[in-house]
Structure 1
Amino acid sequence: MLQFLKSAWPLLLGMMLLMVGNGMQGTLLGIRGEIEGFSTFEMSLVMSAYFVGFLGGSRLAPDMIRRVGHVRVFAALASFISAVLVLYPTLAEPWAWILGRVMIGFCFSGVYVTAESWLNNAATNDSRGKALSVYMIVQTLGIVSAQGLIMVADPSGYVLFVIPSVLVSISFAPILLSISPTPAFETTKPMSLRELFNNSPLGVTGMVLLGGIFSAQFGMSAVFGSKLGLSVRDISIFVATFYVGATLFQYPLGWISDRMDRRVLIMIVALVGGAAGVFGWMFTASYPMLLLAALIVGGTSNPLYSLLIAHTNDFLETEDMAAASGGLVFVNGLGAIAGPVATGWIMEVFGPPGFFMFLAVLLLLMGGYAAYRTTRRAAASVEDTVTYTPVSPSASPVAVEVAQEYAIDTRLEEDEAQQ
């Protein structure tokens, strides 16, 4: 593990700077949109556009890397990100922000694909699981740190748009000066969605719902705070709380999931998150109650991503697990595109409390469906289940496939030990 950190620290540092830039622009646009007089629905389209670009980038980036190489793709896409960030305050129109968010989503997806393939190349079979954990922690630290930077200047000015642009530009240096090109880029042919659903109805359905849940948190939490009239400081703390909760609960839930029926755990976690969403909906006027609701919703919804992947693997043959990753990421992306739009519409109808209403409904639906699935077939034996591997919902298909590879290696090692 020390050897991995020694070789990969420039990559991890660069990725943290990228995540700071990404976390800043999402929250900042939510606050600035209110200042510019954008409606809730217009902001929901702006936020949804990021996930349109992200899904497109995750599917096109591998071909770009094969044609021109990792270094050129990374440098080109990161340059576009830096440029778009400083254009936002210059073109403060909904259509311009929508186009900018599509481009930034596409570019961030391509950058993640490139960086995560480097990360996989730097890790060995023995360190891959720990490498993914470190990478996820770095991502979370970047997003949480970004919320603190929102408070250093006036969101109605230009400075806060320049900061993430500079950070993204700086992130090139440690990565491009220390990373050599990786071997030929390969991805696994994805499993068909029909076959994936037949193997794991809960995995596919849960991923669609979770896409909407995560994109609403990532895209609409700052919009919610702005519409509620919270100060910039309070909005920053509120947004950061989702990710703090994700970090606190990720590993304890992972430990538990390796020791019980994952469908039951998914049901419990989703229902607890749904109850917290109802709590936030009912006590919107109380800021401390909002923070508590955000902590629990973030702490339950984000680990559900890894839980659903692990649950799906439990009902797949080892040779099919890597192929399943592409389908899971795709259906999650579809849900992510719809999430901010649906949240914006609900907030237009019911006001700001509609934000937590949307989260509560989707989490309760997932919990209810997980309960239903426990009645449809027997649970997988705990001895036969794959190891839980933490993966962030903001990761690209490469990170999910790396997690699958780690799960496959672990299962094969366990099978050999039993023989």
Structure 2
Amino acid sequence: MRQIWKSFRALYFASLMMLIGSGLLSTYLGLRLAADHVDSLWVGALMAANYFGLVLGGKIGHRLIARVGHIRAYSACAGIVGAAVLGHGLINWLPAWLVLRTIVGLGMMCQYMVIESWLNEQADAKQRGMVFSGYMIASYLGLVMGQLILVMHPSLGLELLMLVALCFALCLVPVALTRRIHPAPLRPAPMEPRFFIKRVPQSLSTVLGAGLIVGSFYGLAPLYASQQGLSTEEVGLFMGCCIFAGLLVQWPLGWLSDRYDRALLIRSFAFCLALAALPLAILPQVPLEVLFIAGFLCSLVQFCLYPLAVAFSNDHVEADRRVSLTAMLLVTYGVGASIGPLVAGVLMKLFGSQMLYAFFSFFALVLVWRIRPKAVTNLHQVEDAPLHHVAMPDSMSSSPLVAALDPRVDEHVVQEQMCSPPMPDVPEGPETDVESESSAESDQPPEDPDAEREKSFTEARP
């Protein structure tokens, strides 16, 4: 571990600085608008704009890196993000803040791609698990430290925006001064949404639900805590406590995920989330001790949904499609994280701040209804499944390239798919729905896609 830290400390430091700035900015904007008595709808819209920028950056980032190279793209995006952060202090018009938040999300996604490219190419195949864990720890630690800054500096002045911009300026230094080999050019992997909707529908439903819940948490939990009467220091402690719970639960979750049925675990954790959120959803005002305990318990289970869904979907998708699967999962998560804060913000505006956790409880119950372990037929389960659980950041702080760091994915397959151009759309035979009841009732094995593809070409030939 010491050797890994020595080899990748510059990239870990860059990730740490980025997440400190990102975590502090999200909470600061929520508290700033709450202090100005702005509707919660705007707070949710700002977080939705950030996630929309992250999803959009997944496409634009590839093109930018391919055109100007990794270091130039990273430097340009870090500068743009820093300028957008300072723009929040120069402009008080909320529609302009939506544009600035979108720019911040877009630029940060490009930065994540550059860092992950470096980690992937420099990591030995036998050390990818440790490298991946270090990247995850740096991400969560940065988010927690961003909240704790509010404890040390509770004033909501422009100094905090300057500190966020300072973090993005510092994250430039290790990448700009690196002497390592320039990573290979990037080519995006095709997502194939129709294939994954048929193959892993329950996993996609879980990822969408996780996006709705976690996206709303990051955007609106500071506002909820403020409306509960907490001071700025207490809001920082509350957010730091909840995010730390997300880091704390990953290792026990990995132990459970490798030993028990993952669909059953998803359903169980969703039910526990519905119960844990119930006190905060019912009571308009709760004591400070209850707020911290219930918030910590909710975070313990809500941050379990996305990693379990990722591992569950990887169990039923072949290795050569896992980079595409990761892109599909992140886009699905981003869609949920863009919609969730808007819907929850409207509910908080109409019915009170407690509707945030009522929103969590409702969608947790939807997942309990949607996830059916008995419907999983395992017809497409890969030979090396069940795959080992690897904790992943749930704050959308990763690009599709993070699949290349996952030690469950074969290194040569990933490099081949990431460096090859997308395959043309070819008609395929009907896919078996692995995680649906229709597949459970099917006795016929799925047709070979390669045979179907060859047949289609033969029929189309004059």
TM-score (norm 2): 0.84
Aligned to 1:417: none
| Contact 1:58–1:396 (CA under 8 A) maintained in structure 2 | no
Aligned to 2:313: 312
Deviation at 1:288, TM superposition (A): 1.6
Paired with 2:347 and 2:374, the residues of 1 have a C-alpha distance of: 31
Equivalent residue for 2:399, pick from 371, 394, 397: 397
Aligned to 1:223: 223
| Contact 2:152–2:233 (CA under 8 A) maintained in structure 1 | no
- 1:52 equivalent in alignment to 2:52: yes
Deviation string, structure 1 residues 42-61 (Cα, Å, up to 9, x no partner): 22112211111111001210
- Which residue identity lines up with residue 301 of structure 1 in the other structure? Q
| Contact 1:136–1:392 (CA under 8 A) maintained in structure 2 | yes
Deviation at 1:86, TM superposition (A): 1.9
| Aligned counterparts, 1:230-309, within 5 A | 230-283=230-283, 284-309=285-310
Deviation string, structure 1 residues 346-398 (Cα, Å, up to 9, x no partner): 1012200011111111222123322x243453596997311211111223223
Q: Which runs of 5+ in 2 are unaligned?
A: 414-462
Deviation string, structure 1 residues 6-61 (Cα, Å, up to 9, x no partner): 11101101210111111110000011112223211122112211111111001210
Deviation string, structure 1 residues 137-169 (Cα, Å, up to 9, x no partner): 111111111111113335442111111111211
The secondary structure found in structure 2 opposite 1:185 is coil
Stretch of structure 1 that moved more, 382-391 or 118-127: 382-391
| Contact 1:52–1:102 (CA under 8 A) maintained in structure 2 | yes
Paired with 1:223 and 1:374, the residues of 2 have a C-alpha distance of: 40
Paired with 1:136 and 1:350, the residues of 2 have a C-alpha distance of: 37
- Which residue identity lines up with residue 360 of structure 2 in the other structure? L
- Which residue identity lines up with residue 12 of structure 1 in the other structure? Y
The secondary structure found in structure 1 opposite 2:89 is coil
Aligned to 1:189: 189
| Contact 2:221–2:239 (CA under 8 A) maintained in structure 1 | yes
Aligned to 2:446: none
| Contact 1:45–1:340 (CA under 8 A) maintained in structure 2 | yes
Aligned to 2:199: 199
Deviation string, structure 1 residues 173-228 (Cα, Å, up to 9, x no partner): 12321253533233452332121011111111111111111111111111212233
**Aligned alpha-carbon RMSD (Å):** 2.1
| Contact 2:53–2:103 (CA under 8 A) maintained in structure 1 | yes
Q: Percent identity between the aligned chains? A: 25
The secondary structure found in structure 2 opposite 1:407 is coil
The secondary structure found in structure 2 opposite 1:167 is helix
Give the total of aligned pairs: 410
Paired with 2:279 and 2:369, the residues of 1 have a C-alpha distance of: 18
Return the index of the structure with the highest Cα Rg: 2
Relative to structure 1, the CA distance from residue 198 to residue 230 in structure 2 (aligned partners, 3 Å threshold; closer, same or farther) is: same
Aligned to 2:121: 121
Deviation at 1:409, TM superposition (A): 3.2
TM-score (norm 1): 0.92
Paired with 1:73 and 1:363, the residues of 2 have a C-alpha distance of: 39
Paired with 1:333 and 1:172, the residues of 2 have a C-alpha distance of: 26
Paired with 1:399 and 1:2, the residues of 2 have a C-alpha distance of: 24
| Contact 2:154–2:233 (CA under 8 A) maintained in structure 1 | no
Relative to structure 1, the CA distance from residue 190 to residue 333 in structure 2 (aligned partners, 3 Å threshold; closer, same or farther) is: same
Aligned to 2:434: none
Deviation at 1:255, TM superposition (A): 1.3
Aligned to 1:357: 358
| Contact 2:242–2:296 (CA under 8 A) maintained in structure 1 | yes
The secondary structure found in structure 1 opposite 2:295 is helix
| Aligned counterparts, 1:2-401, within 5 A | 2-187=2-187, 189-283=189-283, 284-370=285-371, 372-375=372-375, 377=377, 384-393=385-394, 394-401=396-403
Q: Which runs of 5+ in 1 are unaligned?
A: 413-419
